[in-house]
Structure 1
Amino acid sequence: MSQNYVLKLYNKLTKLPLGNKMFSMFAARKAPYFKTVSPVISKLVPGECHCLIKKKRAVENHIGTVHVIAICNGLEMAMGFMAEASIPKHLRWIPKGMQVDYTAKADSNIRCVAVLPDNHWQEGDVFVEINAYDDNDVVVVKGHIKLWVSAKKAK
């Protein structure tokens, strides 16, 4: 399977100094709301994406931990770029929902991970596993994002 434009760009830019930051800035421009958490994509391969959110005042809640909505934003970004980098050319996707559980305090930087097991794409509902980890690899948020996958219309 040949790489699509997202994966090609990621692989090209990450060979450069500050390439992950350059790619992440490009990524956040595609969906401007992502910029609110200053995400950095640290890994992107077919079926998997990691996105780092730095703990800073702008993403904290009233008790000084990373706000779960900021984490969900990072998880959605990780899912979206995993999907764009992975989905076969004849298919398209759209999110239908997100289910998350808060499992621990998010009191450090957060690594948001989206995984499609076995990079298995099919038409219909597809569930992407999402987990957010603190600096000690403790899961602070876990869940899934449900996608609707359908065939692209013939041109």
Structure 2
Amino acid sequence: MNVLAAYQRISRWPAGRWLFSRLVCWKAPYFASIAPRIESLEPGRGIATLAHRRRVTNHLGTVHAIALCNLAEFVGGLACDVSIPPSMRWIPKGMTVAYLKKAVGRMRATATPAFPPREAEAGYELPFEVVVEDPAGDVVFRATIAMWVSPKSAR
């Protein structure tokens, strides 16, 4: 079962989005360090949240910069996975970030591709834009994740 089909099936259950998020963290354990929650996932767009709690807080009492980077990679990777054609695979190859404002409260990250993904015979770079907002809707962080999309190898 692919990621989108799993999300669509599991998210209908009570606590399904929470469970789906936990399953992603089980597959990629590092993300469990921030306990993100996927809120919406569809081709061309993903939304995830991060609760502001002690384990993601820095010495200033705000959400740590690297926790924001992890949230961006979490939602950007999922959005990429459900957006590219089934014959393609992806891997992040770089990320540029901008910290715009102190991050306080539940963070909401939205990831979208810079252009529609396509099937290709050779690999190409597909940037995903991630915007993170605070509870007031103010943008506190922006990231561009360079995803390398290439054909799956024949097995």
Relative to the length of structure 2, the TM-score reads 0.92
Q: Deviations over 1:7-54 (max 9, x none)?
A: 111111111111110101101111101001111100100011111100
User: C-alpha offsets along residues 55-102 of structure 1, whole Å, 9 cap, x if unaligned?
Assistant: 001100001000010011011000111112221111111111000000
Q: How does 1:3-152 map to 2 (within 5 A)?
A: 5-117=2-114, 119-121=116-118, 123-152=123-152
Alignment length (residue pairs): 152
Structure 1 counterpart of 2:107, one-letter code: I
Cα distance in 2 for residues equivalent to 1:140 and 1:30: 28
Indicate if the aligned counterparts of 2:36 and 2:50 stay in contact, CA closer than 8 A.
yes
One-letter identity of the residue aligned with 1:45 = E
Identity value in percent: 38
RMSD: 1.3
What is the alpha-carbon distance in structure 1 between the residues aligned to residue 10 and residue 150 of structure 2?
30
CA distance in 1, matches of 2:11, 2:115: 24
Structure 1's 125 and 118: CA in aligned 2 closer, same or farther, altered over 3 A? Answer: closer
Structure 1: any 5+ residue segments left out of the alignment?
none
Query: Which amino acid in 2 is paired with 1:147?
Result: M
Report deviation, 1:114. Answer: 1.1
SS where residue 119 of structure 1 aligns?
A: coil
Separation in 2 of the partners of 1:76 and 1:143? 9
* Contact persistence 2:37–2:50 (CA under 8 A): yes
Q: For the residues of structure 1 that align with 2:90 and 2:21, how far apart are their CA atoms?
A: 21
Runs of 4+ more than 6 Å apart: none
Letter in 1 for 2:103: A
Aligned partners of 1:128 and 1:144 also within 8 Å: yes
Give, as a single letter, the amino acid of the residue that structure 1 aligns with 2:135. D
